[in-house]
């Protein structure tokens, strides 16, 4: 008998897509054979009933009825064996599909990492060239500053054991140029910096270089390294390209899963631009709401004849009402001179009741109410406790 599976298999498919098509074809043929066997079993049951009915007839009629039963049962048995072969073939194809699909996922993930490494390596010469230009200019900038010149005050508590210039309260030209480079990088590439608010100061630092695949992740602190720095191309290879290729090799070898080292990408943090402030002089006593959006605003007073920096929108509102003037304007300078001559005439502190109300030009009260409502919605128990205390 011709093997019914010979035309199905032929040459073993290689890709997961081809194996998937093979599985669909096998499943269709299996369903056909299962349907055929069900029909044969039904026919065999009917033939057995006819055989039993013919037992009182002539021997030839009985023999013909029995032969029909035997033929249908043999065909049903053949169909059962064929079904078992198809089920075995499907199980084999499913395993090949699993293994091939896993290998294709690994190959695709590894190839993507290697492609990224190749693109990074291609940028290494340009990066090295540009870094060399920056380094040359930074050296010129440092040379322009006399060696003994202290540039700006440095806290004596700042890295006391690490500063070569320890004991000196001023930043050296080396420290000054380093600070300039850090500020330039911060301005051009703020997403490379971490920002941490602590107490009344903000600390920032470049992202720590670490091994993402080590069990104990440790930053590459300079005092634990054999070399102080690497050339640009070497740094790119050591920190990026070689790591990507190494991860690709481990994925192909089955040591890690293709998606085990991926990270969720979020929008890089960029510090908000500080609000534009304008220096004004009060032409009368006035008050307005000030503060940070989302926080409870406070009342700020601008006294007549006093100068202060305030938000551009607030300054515009006050100037448009004639309550303030630009600091460097003739009107502003005249108001300062008048106040200097009248300063001794006022008795007691200036209170909000003494001031005209400019209101809330920045919409801070509404922003606070919205933030408060959102916080209460997320934590109703805390909000209820706060109301009870209040």
Summarised one tens digit per residue, pLDDT across range 59-98 is: 898 999 899 989 999 998 999 999 999 999 999 988 888 8
196 and 293 together in one domain: no
User: Does the residue 213 lie in any domain?
Assistant: no
- Alpha helix segments (H runs only) across the chain: 6-9, 16-53, 59-143, 173-188, 232-236, 242-252, 312-320, 330-342, 364-378, 380-389
67 and 185 together in one domain: no
Query: pLDDT tier at 263 (50, 70, 90 boundaries)?
Result: low
User: Does the residue 329 lie in any domain?
Assistant: yes
315 and 368 together in one domain: yes
Smallest CA-to-CA distance from 154 within 144, 146, 145, 164 is with 164
DSSP state of 3: -
Q: Which two tokens stand for residue 270?
A: 């960029």
201 and 96 together in one domain: no
At residue 247, the pLDDT reads: 80
CA distance 225 to 148: 30
Would the pLDDT of 16 be above 80?
Answer: yes
The 3-state DSSP class for residue 387 equals: helix
Helix (H) or strand (E) holding 205: strand 201-206
* Percentage with pLDDT > 70 across the chain: 71
Mean pLDDT, residues 217-222: 35
What is the CB neighbour count within 10 angstroms for residue 14?
10
Query: How many distinct structural domains can be found in the chain?
Result: 3
User: Does the residue 258 lie in any domain?
Assistant: no
CA distance 26 to 6: 12
Mean pLDDT, residues 110-123: 91
User: Does the residue 1 lie in any domain?
Assistant: no
Per the listing, tokens 């091939």 go with 100
284 and 312 together in one domain: yes
Exposed e or buried b for every residue in 45-69, given b needs 16+ CB within 10 A? Answer: eebbeebeebeeeeeeeeeebbebb
Decide if 245 contacts 236 (C-beta within 8 A): no
Q: Of 126-140, 189-203, 213-227, which range is least confident?
A: 213-227
* Per-residue pLDDT tens digits for 315-367: 999 999 999 999 999 999 999 888 887 765 655 688 899 999 999 999 999 99
Q: Of 88-92, 173-177, 222-226, which range is least confident?
A: 222-226
User: Does pTM top 0.85 for this prediction?
Assistant: no
At residue 348, the pLDDT reads: 66
At residue 310, the pLDDT reads: 93
374 and 309 together in one domain: yes
The 3-state DSSP class for residue 111 equals: helix
Q: State the sign of the Cα–Cα–Cα–Cα dihedral 70, 75, 80, 84.
A: positive
Distance of CA 292 to the CA centre of its chain: 27
Domain range enclosing 334: 277-389
User: Does the residue 272 lie in any domain?
Assistant: no
117 and 107 together in one domain: no
97 and 124 together in one domain: no
User: Does the residue 259 lie in any domain?
Assistant: no
Higher confidence at residue 286 or residue 161?
A: 286
User: Does the residue 364 lie in any domain?
Assistant: yes
167 and 70 together in one domain: no
Q: Which residue, 111, 146, 170, sits at the end of a domain?
A: 111
Smallest CA-to-CA distance from 149 within 188, 118, 175 is with 175
Decide if 354 contacts 285 (C-beta within 8 A): yes
Q: Which residue, 78, 93, 111, sits at the end of a domain?
A: 111
* Per-residue pLDDT tens digits for 134-162: 999 989 988 887 777 666 666 544 454 55
At residue 35, the pLDDT reads: 92
Query: How many residues in total does the chain contain?
Result: 390
The 3-state DSSP class for residue 247 equals: helix
Q: Which residue, 81, 111, 141, sits at the end of a domain?
A: 111
229 and 127 together in one domain: yes
Smallest CA-to-CA distance from 22 within 10, 33, 34 is with 10
User: Does the residue 257 lie in any domain?
Assistant: no
Provide φ and ψ at 128, rounded to 5°: -65, -40
CA distance 53 to 188: 98
301 and 185 together in one domain: no
129 and 238 together in one domain: yes
CA distance 29 to 380: 61
CA distance 285 to 184: 41
């Amino acid at each position: 008998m011709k093997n019914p599976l010979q035309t199905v298999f032929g040459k073993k498919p290689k890709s997961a897509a081809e194996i998937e098509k093979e599985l669909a074809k096998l499943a269709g043929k299996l369903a056909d054979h299962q349907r055929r066997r069900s029909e044969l079993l039904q026919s065999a049951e009917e033939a057995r009933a006819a055989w039993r009915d013919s037992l009182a007839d002539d021997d030839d009629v009985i023999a013909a009825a029995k032969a029909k039963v035997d033929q249908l049962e043999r065909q049903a048995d053949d169909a059962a064996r064929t079904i078992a072969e198809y089920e075995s073939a499907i199980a084999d194809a499913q395993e090949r599909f699993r293994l091939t699909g896993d290998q294709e996922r690994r190959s695709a993930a590894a190839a993507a990492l290697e492609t990224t490494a190749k693109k990074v390596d291609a940028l290494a010469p340009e990066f090295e060239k540009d870094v060399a230009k920056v380094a040359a200019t930074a050296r010129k900038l440092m040379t322009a500053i006399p060696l003994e010149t202290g540039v700006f005050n440095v806290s004596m508590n700042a890295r006391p054991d690490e500063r070569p210039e320890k004991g000196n309260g001023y930043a050296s030209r080396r420290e000054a140029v380093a600070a300039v480079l850090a500020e330039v990088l911060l301005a051009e590439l703020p997403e490379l910096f971490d920002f941490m608010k602590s107490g009344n100061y903000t600390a920032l630092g470049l992202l720590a270089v670490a091994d993402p695949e080590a069990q104990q992740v440790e930053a590459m602190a300079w005092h634990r390294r054999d070399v102080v720095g690497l050339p640009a191309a070497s740094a790119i290879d050591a920190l990026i390209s070689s790591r990507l290729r190494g991860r690709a090799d481990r994925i192909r070898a089955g040591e890690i899963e293709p998606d085990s080292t991926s990270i969720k990408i979020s929008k890089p943090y960029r510090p908000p631009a500080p609000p534009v402030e304008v220096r004004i002089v009060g032409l009368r006593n006035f008050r307005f709401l000030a503060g940070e959006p989302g926080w409870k605003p406070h009342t700020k007073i601008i006294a007549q004849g006093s100068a202060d920096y305030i938000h551009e929108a607030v300054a515009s509102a006050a100037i448009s009402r004639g309550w303030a003037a630009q600091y460097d304007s003739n009107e502003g300078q005249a108001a300062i001179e008048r106040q200097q001559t009248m300063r001794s005439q006022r008795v007691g502190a200036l209170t909000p009741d003494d001031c005209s109300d400019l209101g809330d030009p920045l919409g801070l009260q509404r922003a606070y109410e919205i933030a408060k409502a959102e916080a209460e919605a997320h934590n109703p128990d805390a909000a209820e406790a706060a109301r009870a205390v209040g």
